């Protein structure tokens, strides 16, 4: 007779699976969490710094102990694909042909939250209301979802209600709001939470004060924003340029933003830390199994009862150490059984891969690889979505004083102390930030219901992801990038398909950009054009700056379209196991995260969204993870 090892098996420790596993364990359930990677932060001093130091986030994406590489297709047409300067034709590790764009992911405790840029911006209300509308489930409405962010957040940049500092600011807001007849004049927290597991903070704006060039650059950007009608001084003062202030989401405002970060006293924090704290306080309830590559879900009939996994280091093909010529990948096949449910949280690429390897997916595709069909689910792996991003890079005559003396790397024995690293050890300075100095929320078209562009500025050279980019980013200290991010993209034509029935092999990932996709009116392309033109308007006031990218040769709207089609990128892959209504044959999940056609199986990660949410996806995933915990616990009782 089979004996259950736990109540729940959770596959994946990222933004969806990590908090969910911790919350279930805190609620008294026994949870086994499977993570394919290790915990580099605990394995070495370099690994610890790669995780903890916010400014090292770029380097951490190329740190081999947690790095996972995917090479994705932006276009099916090889000719179109070759026009992208970021194209990688040959894997730099194995030498094998890949012909794709490098898409960095993380194989580590905490998933991609172990190497992301820590930006923590909540979705707009429309993201949640859409799910409520298509499923008929009112618990997805925005007014119900707001509480999940407040529950998970421990906000350090808005004073806690009841403190003197908060009371003075709140009093000012209340007086103005009352005079304007606002119904929310008594609500001072405005959606923030102060007791959750995720600390949020803002970079200290005075960090740039010593650099006159950077100050001038930012002031010019602010002037252009005001000139364009994006800002109203009183509103900006009262919301503290905070994109997570609930008033901004409700009113769908454009304007300036200081970008909130998941940084606690100068150090990255996230699901990894939540899991480790939970493991200390509830050691009998949470078992974290590292180096555990899930290979298939185990079923009795159509009921999920466990997970088979390979135990071993560096097994998955995306891991660069697995692709080294002659690499030995020793592993042991093991199984873990759950008394209640299996919850898949392996991300937008790996969750559909695992479902398909387990017999859940399009019948024809499964049969092609000799996989027995358990559930013919045509939506698994379909509907892949992402942002479009481009970088507008300017060069200045002199290096920024702000960066003088910084190495942007962990200290090496025998080398002089980096003064910025010394400051970071005290919880101060540039290294406590991710480098982003200012954000701007903007509508590309005033007829759009919500701002669809998030434009953010940072010192450095950033035009997308290509092997070696992190060193190039910081090598030249006289360059400044405005990154244009297109949110609410219309293209839903991407897909994730199997290339093999071997669970160690990566899937084929095709985004089908722009005209290869299904954005028939080219709204995405025109929006990015608008964003680049807006940045150029800001940069025109900086007579000393020279545009390096796109470059002066892209001097018309049509030339800009050409550049964007060739060079855009994204890194918020999502929507490949979408939630949907009973009438949608491509809906993989119901509104309670349950995989249709099965029992005791759910998915909780970036793949569940029917439409890509908000601006930076991690906050939305945290929120659905909190909701999933409530749903799972409710169903258990």
Q: pLDDT at position 108, please?
A: 98
Q: What is the pLDDT of residue 210?
A: 82
Distance CA 286, CA 631 (A): 19
In whole angstroms, how large is the CA radius of gyration of the chain? 24
Q: What is the mean pLDDT of the chain?
A: 92
How many Cα atoms are found within 13 Å in the side-chain-facing hemisphere of 353? Answer: 23
* 6-73+100-118+269-384+573-636 topology per CATH: FAD/NAD(P)-binding domain (3.50.50)
CA 97 – CA 266 distance, rounded (Å): 41
The predicted pLDDT at position 637 comes to 87
Indicate whether 335 pLDDT > 80: yes
Q: What's residue 234's pLDDT?
A: 42
Q: Are 359 and 377 in contact (CB under 8 A)?
A: no
Query: SS3 of 193, please?
Result: coil
Q: Where are the domains of the chain?
A: 6-73+100-118+269-384+573-636
Alpha carbons 343 and 625: distance in angstroms, whole number:
11
How many contiguous H segments (helices) and E segments (strands) does the chain have? 19, 24
Mind telling me the catalytic residues?
572
* pLDDT higher than 80, residue 186: no
Other beta carbons within 10 angstroms of residue 52's beta carbon come to 18
Handedness of CA 593, 596, 601, 607 (dihedral sign): negative
Q: Contact 179/167 with Cβ under 8 angstroms?
A: no
The SS3 of residue 196 is: coil
Range 482-495 average pLDDT: 97
Q: Do the beta carbons of residue 472 and residue 461 sit within 8 Å? A: yes
Closest to 494 in 3D by CA, of 622, 607, 384, 332: 384
d(CA 357, CA 254): 44
Percent of the chain surpassing pLDDT 90: 79
* pLDDT in the model for residue 327: 86
Q: 454: closest CA among 393, 513, 392, 389?
A: 389
Residue whose entry in the numeric block shows the structure tokens 């807001």 = 173
Angle at which helix 617-636 crosses helix 142-152, to 10 degrees, equals 100
Q: Two tokens at 292?
A: 């555990």
Tens digits of residue pLDDT in 337-374: 999 999 999 999 999 999 999 999 999 999 999 999 99
d(CA 279, CA 347): 23
Alpha carbons 438 and 236: distance in angstroms, whole number: 13
Q: How many residues does the chain have?
A: 637
Over 80: is that where the pLDDT of 396 sits?
A: yes
Contact in structure between 234 and 176 (CB atoms under 8 Å) = yes
In tens, the pLDDT along 144-175 reads 999 999 999 999 988 787 665 655 555 565 66
CB 86 within 8 A of CB 464: yes
Confidence at 179, pLDDT banded by 50, 70, 90: low
pLDDT single digits (tens) 204-221 = 878 888 888 888 888 888
The position carrying tokens 């892959």 is 573
Are 604 and 9 contacting, i.e. CB atoms less than 8 angstroms apart?
no
> Where does the pLDDT of residue 323 fall: very low under 50, low under 70, confident under 90, or very high at 90 and above?
very high
Cβ neighbours around 392 below 10 Å, total: 26
pLDDT digits 0-9 by tens, 10-35:
999 999 999 999 999 999 999 999 99
């Amino acid at each position: 007779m089979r004996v259950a090892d736990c109540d729940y098996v959770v596959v994946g420790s990222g933004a969806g699976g990590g908090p969910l596993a911790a919350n279930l364990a805190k609620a008294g359930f026994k949870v086994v969490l499977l993570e394919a990677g290790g915990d580099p932060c605990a394995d070495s001093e370099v690994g610890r710094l790669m995780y903890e130091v916010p400014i090292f986030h770029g380097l951490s994406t190329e740190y081999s102990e947690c790095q996972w590489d995917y090479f994705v297709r932006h276009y099916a047409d090889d000719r179109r694909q070759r026009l992208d300067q970021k194209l990688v034709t040959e894997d730099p590790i194995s030498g094998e042909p890949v012909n794709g764009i490098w898409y960095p992911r993380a194989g580590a405790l905490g998933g991609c939250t172990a190497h992301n840029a820590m930006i923590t911006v909540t979705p707009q209300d429309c993201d949640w209301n859409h799910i409520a509308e298509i499923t008929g489930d009112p618990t997805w409405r925005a007014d119900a979802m707001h509480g999940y962010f407040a529950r998970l957040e421990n906000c350090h940049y808005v004073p806690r209600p009841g403190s003197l500092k908060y009371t003075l600011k709140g009093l000012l807001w209340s007086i103005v709001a009352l005079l304007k007849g606002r119904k929310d004049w008594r609500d001072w927290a405005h959606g923030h939470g102060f007791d959750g597991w995720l600390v949020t903070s803002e970079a200290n704006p005075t960090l740039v004060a010593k650099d006159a060039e950077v100050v001038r650059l930012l002031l010019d950007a602010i002037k252009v924003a005001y000139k364009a009608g994006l800002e109203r001084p009183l509103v900006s003062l009262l919301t503290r340029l905070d994109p997570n202030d609930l008033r901004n989401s409700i009113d769908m405002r454009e304007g300036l933003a200081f970008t909130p970060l998941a940084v606690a006293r100068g150090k990255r924090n996230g699901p990894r830390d939540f899991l480790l704290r939970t493991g200390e306080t509830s050691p009998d309830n949470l078992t974290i199994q590292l180096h555990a590559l899930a290979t298939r879900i185990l079923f009795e009939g159509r009921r999920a009862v466990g997970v088979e996994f390979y135990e071993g280091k560096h097994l998955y093909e995306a891991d660069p150490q697995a692709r080294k010529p002659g690499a030995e990948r020793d592993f042991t096949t093991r199984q873990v059984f759950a008394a209640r449910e299996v919850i898949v949280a392996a991300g937008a690429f790996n969750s559909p891969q695992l479902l398909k390897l387990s017999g859940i997916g399009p019948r024809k595709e499964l049969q092609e690889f000799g996989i027995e069909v358990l559930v013919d689910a045509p939506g698994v792996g379909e509907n892949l979505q992402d942002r479009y991003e481009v970088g507008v890079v300017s060069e200045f005559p002199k290096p920024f004083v702000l960066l003088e003396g910084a190495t942007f790397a962990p200290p090496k024995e025998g080398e002089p102390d980096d003064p910025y690293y010394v400051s970071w050890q005290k919880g101060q300075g540039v290294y406590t930030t991710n480098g982003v100095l200012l954000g701007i929320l903007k509508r590309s078209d005033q007829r759009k219901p919500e701002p669809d562009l998030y434009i953010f500025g940072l010192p450095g050279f950033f035009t997308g992801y290509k092997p070696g980019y992190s060193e190039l980013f910081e090598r030249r200290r006289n360059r400044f990038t405005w990154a244009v991010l297109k949110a609410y993209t219309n293209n839903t034509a991407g897909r994730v398909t199997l290339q093999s029935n071997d669970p160690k092999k990566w899937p084929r990932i095709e985004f089908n950009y722009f005209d290869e996709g299904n954005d028939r009116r080219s709204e995405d392309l025109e929006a990015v054009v608008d964003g680049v033109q807006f940045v150029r308007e800001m940069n025109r006031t900086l007579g000393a700056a020279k545009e390096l990218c796109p470059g002066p040769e892209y001097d018309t709207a049509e030339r800009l379209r050409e550049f964007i089609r060739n060079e855009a990128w994204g890194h918020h892959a999502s929507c490949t196991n979408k939630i949907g209504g009973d009438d949608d044959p491509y809906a993989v999940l119901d509104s309670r995260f349950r995989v249709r056609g099965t029992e005791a199986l759910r998915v909780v990660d970036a793949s569940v969204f029917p439409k890509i949410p908000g601006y930076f996806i991690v906050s939305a995933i945290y929120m659905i993870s909190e909701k999933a915990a409530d749903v799972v616990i409710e169903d258990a009782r």
